[in-house]
Structure 1
């Protein structure tokens, strides 16, 4: 990971990071009126978090995904 925290000029501090994007895929399918299945992938590209040197944990987990790729599967049943 590259540390992208930078001060642009001493007279005009501009601390920050470059743009950050992740790609998530989710979908669901109604089997019938009673059953629905759903599945998804979060952070499909498995991009790591942006390094922020001013943070104690080297990143900000409230903003950046620190887990990496994750999968979800679920079933919804209407009784």
Structure 2
């Protein structure tokens, strides 16, 4: 009886360790839309081109009509359709 209880204790302990090691990391990836475009959880730099949903897209600075944003590098990057 002691052997069975000891075996159950060992099995339950090892399965709890295995469960903890497979949990996703609580760290969240830092996103900076002024430096990268994002697609499918990957970073792409300005000028990158790819097909998205059958359309050619390019990573570019978002044009802004207001004159309050003087620094171009502070504007966000977006995926724009290439014609």
Report the TM range for the smaller structure's normalisation.
Answer: under 0.3
Higher relative contact order (CA 8 A, sep 6+): 1
Higher helix share: 2
Determine which structure has more spread, i.e. the larger CA radius of gyration. 2
